[in-house]
Each structure stands twice: as C-alpha cells, then as structure tokens.
Structure 1
Amino acid sequence: MTDLFTLEAEVRTDLGKGASRRLRHANKVPAILYGEGQEPISLTLEHKNVYRAQQEEAFYSHVLTVNIDGKPVECLLKDMQRHPFKQLVMHLDFLRIDASHPVHVNAPIHFLNEEEAEKKGGNITHQINEIAISCLPADIPEFIEVDVADLEVGQTLHLSDVTLPKGVTSDELAKGEDHDQAVVSLNAPKGVSEETDEAEEIEATE
C-alpha cells in the first residue's frame, strides 16, 4: 500500500485552461502544491497512478510523498476535482506539511457492530461519516472506529462519546459544547412511534 501514497510529479510551466486540457488528453493530471510559506508549484502527474491511489480510503487523510523531479515532498491532499460523469480526476491540490506542525484533516469513520445494534429493533442512521480532527502528521489515523454495539433504540452517540486516538483532537469540540455533533443514532422503525402515540391516546380516552 505504501507505493500508493508515493506519487511521481513534474513541474509544469505551461499553465492555463488550454494547457490543462492538453495534459488531460495526454492522460496526465494537473495539480498544485502550496503551503508552509513557500511559493505554490504547478505540477503534472500520471492519471493512472492518481486514479489507482484515490481508490484507497486512506489516500484522503494519509501523509503523501510527492516526488517532484526526484525530490520528495511530504504533503496532504486538500482537494480533488473529478469529471462529473467520466472516471477522470481533473485536478489535485496538495498542501505541504511540516512534521512539527499540527494539521487539520477529515478522518473517515468505521462503524462497528451495526447488525448487533439493529437486533434490538432499531435502524442505524449515520449523522456524519467523517470527523474533522487536528494532530501532528505522524498521528493522523487512517480511520476512526465507532462501536455502536451498546446503542439502545432512541439513543444517539455524539462526538464527545467517541474515543479519539492519542494525540488527536476534534476540531468541532474545540469550538465548544454547542458543536458536539451527533455521529450515529439507533432510531425506532418508522411508524412505531406513531402507533405508540395512538395507543397512548386510546388508553387516555378509555
């Protein structure tokens, strides 16, 4: 998997929409590298290598190595533009990183034991599928696990209920308690609550 996170790139000087169009026709992807107080660099990458790498979930939060004319640069993928209906990557934005500086990334969530939770008679609903986090580059998790086995029907897990890896903090929770987002819920099946309300009304009338 390591090779998927190392991409070969060349500096490009031919800029503009026309140049980008010509690159795509040649099965290449235009990109830009910026950050850490350095000048942005326009790059060209092989589309087949980018397309293969972007199929991996970790590609979007993993520290990547971009070899620019043979010189390795560590960075994160900050944006990717895809063709609206073709299987083509149109453009990439890379952010330089420094091992000693915290970075902000979105880590995907892996939900565990969903079937076990739904045996209680409810339906699992994902409120979010990734968590905005801050940490040093070396501490970036490939994903964050959220175990829903103990969820009861009608219960919701929030960000404050999620155990984050060591050295990792939630960007939302850092803003205050009002930003304690819902993560996942075990909801009663549709119609059950309505039937319960009707039954209670009948009992009350009787």
Structure 2
Amino acid sequence: MADATLAAELRTEFGKGAARRIRRADRIPAVLYGHGRDPIHITLEGHATMMALKTSNALLEIVSSDGSKNQLAIPREVQINPVNRHIEHVDLFVVVRGEKIEVEVPVHMVGEPAYGTMISVDNQSIRVLAEATTIPEQIEVSMEGRKPGDHVYAGDVSLPAGVELIDDPEFLLINVSAQLSEAQLEAELESEAVDEDVAASTGAEPDAADGESE
C-alpha cells in the first residue's frame, strides 16, 4: 500500500514564468521517470505533496487526470527554495511491486550510551537494497551502554528481513568518545581562537600546512 496518493496533471507549459504560475496555483512541478520510459512532466498538489514527503522514501501512488494507469513512485530528488523552504520541483522514480531498488535510509539512534560519553555522527544514513513497497522508514541502531572508543559501522547495523546492505561494511556511522572535561573544553576553545586569530592576521586558512601550495 502506498504511503500517499497524489493527483497529477500533465504539464503543458515550461520555463521559469510557467513554473511560477504553477506554484502560485499551489501545485508543484515534477517529473516521472524510470524503467527506460521517456520522462513525463506533471504537476502535483502542493500541500498534499509537502505532507507526503515528510516521510523518508515515501511510496507514492500517482493518479493522472488523463485517466492513464496509476504509477507507483518514490522521490529521488526534492528541490527546496532555500529562503521560504517551499518545494520547487520533485523528481519521481517509477517503481513496480516486487522489484528491489537502491535507497538511502536514515539511521536512528535508540538507547543511552555509558555515562560520561559523547556521540559523533559521521553519517546519518546508509544505502540499502530493498523491495520497493517495503522500504524501511528508518533503521534503528542501539547505543545502549556503549563506551568510549566504540564505533558503529554499516556492517554492525541489524537490517530488516529482505533488506541488503550496499555500503561498505566498514562505512563509519557513529563514533563514541569520552566527554571532555570543562578544562579540556576551555583549552580546545582557546586553541581554536588562537588558530582563527593567526589565520586572520596572515590571510591563511586555520591549520593550513606551512610552505604548501597547490
């Protein structure tokens, strides 16, 4: 079952002016592609699309106004206006039931590490191969009791049945280290401030190696 159903209309005009008119009408320009087919340019309901895309790797059922066959698709690229955060364009990849596709799935940490530790997240998602209609919304990683020096690699993650890892098993996701003491934190901040002052006075980047040039 799809996560959301979106009504689509064929797009008949193009260009920046046309795109602005589409968005003023509370619709979003989009393109459907995949499976060797020619791309189909459409527009989607603005609010409904925004709500549907709040779910990671949402499976969408695209219903065309011309009466053609409904399509299942997942978002591949979502362009967002950096100022008003409105969706400006969506690339939709057509999928069929039963096929496996490559997707990026967010990693979600659960549980508390050992006291006195801090967590650094190196990568927030992993690439997996999953059946198009059962893509996990997120993959949980237990941090319960983890100690300084612990690392979580892609190969350590427990994947749902039928989901295969694409990333290298040694792909680092999370690093656990000892929490800095107040004195260590102050020393680190002072060191960073000195680096910035030196860089500002010399015009060099902080930590740049002496004598090196491109």
Using the size of structure 2 for normalisation, the TM-score is: 0.78
Contact 1:36 1:98 in 2 (8 A): no
- 1:19-98 correspondence runs (5 A): 19-54=18-53, 56=54, 58=55, 60-69=56-65, 70=67, 71-98=69-96
Equivalent in the alignment of 1:163: 158
Distance 2:99 2:35 in 1: 10
Residue 65 (structure 1) shift: 0.8
Name the SS for the 1:41 alignment partner: strand
Distance 2:3 2:174 in 1: 31
Distance 1:22 1:4 in 2: 28
Name the SS for the 2:70 alignment partner: strand
- 1:53-202 correspondence runs (5 A): 53-54=52-53, 56=54, 58=55, 60-69=56-65, 70=67, 71-113=69-111, 116-117=112-113, 119-173=114-168, 180-190=170-180
Residue 146 (structure 1) shift: 0.4
Contact 1:30 1:90 in 2 (8 A): yes
Identity level (%): 30
Distance 1:28 1:138 in 2: 26
The amino acid across from 1:189 in the alignment is Q
Name the SS for the 1:103 alignment partner: strand
Distance 1:7 1:140 in 2: 19
Distance 2:70 2:108 in 1: 31
Distance 2:86 2:142 in 1: 35
Equivalent in the alignment of 2:202: none
Name the SS for the 2:155 alignment partner: helix
Contact 2:98 2:133 in 1 (8 A): no
Equivalent in the alignment of 1:11: 10
Distance 2:107 2:80 in 1: 23
Using the size of structure 1 for normalisation, the TM-score is: 0.81
For structure 2, which runs of at least 5 residues remain unmatched after alignment? 186-214
Distance 2:163 2:3 in 1: 24
For structure 1, which runs of at least 5 residues remain unmatched after alignment? 196-206
Distance 2:164 2:145 in 1: 24
Relative distance call for 1:131 and 1:122 in structure 2 (3 A) is same
Name the SS for the 1:52 alignment partner: helix
Relative distance call for 1:3 and 1:99 in structure 2 (3 A) is closer
The amino acid across from 1:121 in the alignment is G
The amino acid across from 1:29 in the alignment is I
Equivalent in the alignment of 1:198: none
Distance 1:185 1:5 in 2: 36
Residue 191 (structure 1) shift: 5.2
Name the SS for the 1:22 alignment partner: helix
